Structure 1
Amino acid sequence: MADTKEPRVAAPETSAGRGAARPTSSRLRAVHELFVAGEVDETFLNSHAVRPVVAQSWKRSLAGGVDPDLDGARAAVAAIERLRETHPLAPALPVIRRLLVDDAMDSGVVVAVSAADGTLLWVEGDPNACRRAEAMNFVPGADWSERSAGTNAPGTALALDRELQIRGSEHFSRVVQPWSCTAAPVHDPTTGALLGAIDLTGGAQVASAQTLALVRATAVAVENHLALLRVSGVAAEPAARRPHLVVLGADRPRWVTTDRYGHLQATYLTGRHADILVLLSRHPEGLSADHLAVLLDEKDLDVVTVRAEMSRLRKVIGADTLESRPYRLSTAITSDIGEVFEALDAGDVESALARYPGPLLAQSVSPAIARLRTQLSTTLRDAVLAESRQGRTDLLRRWLELPEGRDDRDGWQALRDSAGLTAVARARAHGHLAGLDFELG
């Protein structure tokens, strides 16, 4: 019988304070190392006093492929100035500066305001702290969503739509563990749609009850300010979150909407419904039943079957979302495939790669989807290889970690021949190439 031993970690030393005992920073780091190495599970985390909200976030981060050794969040998106100018939180920036930034200027604290997708819009505060934060790419335009940067206060607050604090070693990424942070989401005062989050980042003092109360009060003040501007006719119309289509990667395709309270609701789609929604999103002018039948299956699909599928799809996404004669979406939507194409069109290869978890609807047999899948994958791959020739081997490594990149011989050869590679990294690339050559004969 195999000898199975639980990893040895001493019983958690605890920090003084009210509520459940917390492990000290050194013990928490030890548990974190075991978890990211895949040696322990969530049950082990709970038994060692890791807060459930942190344990669950670590689990999502690990499952989502976040690298705890990344030097911070992914790089800035293109056109950050335009995003700032048009964002619904822009009119409330004076309130945030008055309540938070003014007092942070000489206190070692950074104040950040993010969009609902985790993109940092403004990062202000103590100049020295801001310079230190730049080292982990905590800068305007960087993607600090949980899916990109792992467990962190603004990203996890947005993922859970709730205020919270992340203390030191509770961060998933090692480079962020010297910091603590407190964040609260901000909602549209009329529709309840999630607009973004307000965050305070600094030393251990930031993870206090007083800081949480201050950030919470600032979020309420911002929502009240936006409501007052709207009543006076100064502000723009209420922000409504568009339906979002998720069709990339290994997860099941889904249709994500927001209810009247701003809560996200995901509806899983059949493969055929996902195919149809992708095609309609790429053809805003609309498609006839005959044309859809050919795009979905050029041999065996008839118009009657297409009409039946469209009738069922209406029940899933809402009758007012889908028009006929021709079939088209009556509501503007967003999609993960659309975000990748838009980033590529803007020349922002890093953002495109960050938003690409894997191929489009890999199980689909639709010829039109297969063509689009190949187009997206090839465009992204070629863009990454072009960037790698300019020294961006970090992007090439990320591509090679994707399912499509594991057998990309040209990509692995480009990595092996890259300048500035460590001896170990070059040896790994050479070994991977040898394995591919052996498999291919």
Structure 2
Amino acid sequence: MDCSLAARLLKGVRAATLSGQQPQILPRPVIGESWNRMLRSGVDPDRDVRSGLLSMDEVEERRQSSVLLEILPVLREALVTVADAAQHIMVVSDADGRVLWREGSAAVLHKADRLGFELGADWSEETVGTNGVGTPLVTRRPVQVFSAEHFVGSLHTWTCTGAPITDPRDGRLIGVVDVSGPLETMHPATLSLVGTVAQLAEARLRERHAAALDRLRAVAAPVLARIGGRAVAVDVQGWTAAVTGMQPVDRIALPKSLSELSELSDGRAWVPTLGMCAVAPLPGGWLLRPDGPDGAAEPLGGTRVVLDVSRPRHWSVTVTDGTRSWSHELSPRHAELLYLLALHRPRGRSASGLAEDMFGDPTRTVTVRAEMSRVRRYLGSLLGHRPYRFHEEAELEVVLPQSPADLLPHSVAPGVLRSRSAPPH
């Protein structure tokens, strides 16, 4: 591949796009969509507007509090030697796009400094435009950005390939691993390599989580053996380690007040799917003992559900029932499903209808039913089934982005694409 020729062609494509003309060669969809986001948000293509660098104390604080620290050895082992040999650097950012680690070729590190690709720098899309850190944070998939595919002109001498890393324990986006270097060092296979390494890192987190649950189970088992009635031992994310007297589930939604230890002065807390519970700490988790025999009550009139899909990287559902309120951060798939259900309120949507909305294939009902089963574990009776629907007595609010084109930018679900292309109301 002639990198110089490719760079010149891309500059022509970019120049035509920015001037409002139709380029003879269209940018790749992931790049074109990112450029459109930048144009809508007002990012200056001729000058990136950098926010201040974090101090080294702030960088270190973020490092020590990040789950990324657990998987840094995996990333180093797989990428640093390769990056150094190929005149690249490995960069790891957090979910805000802040650069927390950089390693690799000393010469390339110096070049990165001149571009502002420094420790503590903000490389989110809204700050420096289309790039291999910020764009994967938005799209939730690996992205390679070559030369003039960068929206901001000062980055056209650069190529970067990044992949998002998700915490499998709660579906939360925790950061991006990126391999970057001068444009002439670009190799198409880097995209596959970086994506595979991100998956290996996530697999390491799953292994560590399974081991932690095993340890919690060993502690909880003798405690549960002495307890009469209903009880469940969960870790701090709500994953079930052991249960007695109850239907076992993989995970229980925990209110923020429980995870933040702010409601335990009397040893009691309200848990969305269980109701009021006696709560006792366990090493690495909690012992929950529901008060009633039947768990949480059906939702009553006055329950309010807010589905927030307004931001590109963070989606949530918040339930308020009287004086009690709790929130749950949504995975990309669950954000899509709940948004699609909201479109079909109050009648709801069958499994085959949701499969068509999600995949363009009404026969993929097994996948839809499995995901909806997981959603109902934290929303409980707020979601009905046959067809799937929001409870008719609950007030539902959907918080959308200002522009329909910014709706769930990671999604390729046909139902979401239709909404994204619809004119604003």
Output the TM-score relative to the length of structure 2.
0.50
Match of 1:311 among 292, 302, 312: 302
Q: Distance in 1 between matches of 2:129 and 2:65?
A: 27
Q: Distance in 1 between matches of 2:35 and 2:175?
A: 22
Tell me which protein shows more helix as a share of its residues.
Answer: 1
Match of 2:136 among 157, 168, 192: 157
Instruction: Please give the per-residue CA displacement for 1:321-344, whole angstroms capped at 9, x wherever unaligned.
Output: 3253xx4644499xxxxxxxxxxx
Match of 2:319 among 318, 321, 340: 321
CA gap of 1:171–1:331, structure 2 versus 1, over 3 A, is same
CA gap of 1:332–1:220, structure 2 versus 1, over 3 A, is closer
Instruction: List aligned pairs for 1:39-58, cutoff 5 A.
Output: 39-41=19-21, 44-45=22-23, 47-58=24-35
Contact 1:71 1:136 in 2 (8 A): no
Contact 1:191 1:238 in 2 (8 A): no
Shift of 1:74: 2.9
Residue segments in structure 2 that go unaligned for 5+ positions in a row: 217-234, 239-249, 251-261, 264-300, 309-315, 330-425
Match of 2:302, SS state, is helix
Instruction: Please give the per-residue CA displacement for 1:278-337, whole angstroms capped at 9, x wherever unaligned.
Output: xxxxxx99xxxxxxxxxxxxxxxxxxxxxxxx937436579973253xx4644499xxxx
Match of 1:80 among 42, 59, 62: 59
Partner residue in 2 for 1:33: 15
Match of 1:24, SS state, is helix
Given residue 20 of structure 2, which amino acid in structure 1 is its aligned partner? V
Match of 2:117, SS state, is coil
Given residue 74 of structure 1, which amino acid in structure 2 is its aligned partner? S
Q: Distance in 2 between matches of 1:105 and 1:319?
A: 43
CA gap of 1:161–1:206, structure 2 versus 1, over 3 A, is farther
Match of 1:124 among 103, 107, 117: 103
Shift of 1:73: 4.2
Contact 2:307 2:318 in 1 (8 A): no
CA gap of 1:124–1:59, structure 2 versus 1, over 3 A, is same
Instruction: List aligned pairs for 1:87-106, cutoff 5 A.
Output: 87-106=66-85
Instruction: List aligned pairs for 1:26-425, cutoff 5 A.
Output: 26-36=8-18, 39-41=19-21, 44-45=22-23, 47-70=24-47, 73-77=50-54, 79-204=58-183, 207-233=186-212, 311=302, 313-314=304-305, 321-324=319-322, 327=323, 329-331=325-327
CA gap of 1:26–1:89, structure 2 versus 1, over 3 A, is same
Match of 1:84, SS state, is helix
Match of 1:321, SS state, is strand
CA gap of 1:206–1:215, structure 2 versus 1, over 3 A, is farther
**Bigger shift: 143-152 or 204-213?**
204-213
Instruction: List aligned pairs for 1:12-27, cutoff 5 A.
Output: 24-27=6-9
Contact 2:83 2:179 in 1 (8 A): no
Contact 1:182 1:206 in 2 (8 A): no
Contact 1:188 1:239 in 2 (8 A): no
Contact 1:73 1:138 in 2 (8 A): no
Q: Distance in 1 between matches of 2:5 and 2:186?
A: 15
Match of 1:105, SS state, is helix
Q: Alpha carbon RMSD of aligned pairs, Å?
A: 3.6
Tell me which protein shows more strand as a share of its residues.
Answer: 2
Contact 1:188 1:238 in 2 (8 A): no
CA gap of 1:182–1:239, structure 2 versus 1, over 3 A, is farther
Contact 2:319 2:327 in 1 (8 A): yes
Contact 1:166 1:207 in 2 (8 A): no
Partner residue in 2 for 1:337: none
Given residue 321 of structure 1, which amino acid in structure 2 is its aligned partner? V
Match of 2:123, SS state, is coil
Partner residue in 2 for 1:378: none
Aligned residues: 243
Output the TM-score relative to the length of structure 1.
0.49
Identity of aligned residues (%): 31
Residue segments in structure 1 that go unaligned for 5+ positions in a row: 1-14, 241-259, 261-283, 286-309, 334-441
Q: Distance in 2 between matches of 1:216 and 1:68?
A: 28
Shift of 1:72: 6.7
Contact 1:73 1:136 in 2 (8 A): no
Q: Distance in 2 between matches of 1:194 and 1:319?
A: 16
Contact 1:74 1:149 in 2 (8 A): no
Given residue 314 of structure 1, which amino acid in structure 2 is its aligned partner? V
Contact 1:185 1:194 in 2 (8 A): yes
Given residue 48 of structure 1, which amino acid in structure 2 is its aligned partner? I
Given residue 26 of structure 1, which amino acid in structure 2 is its aligned partner? R
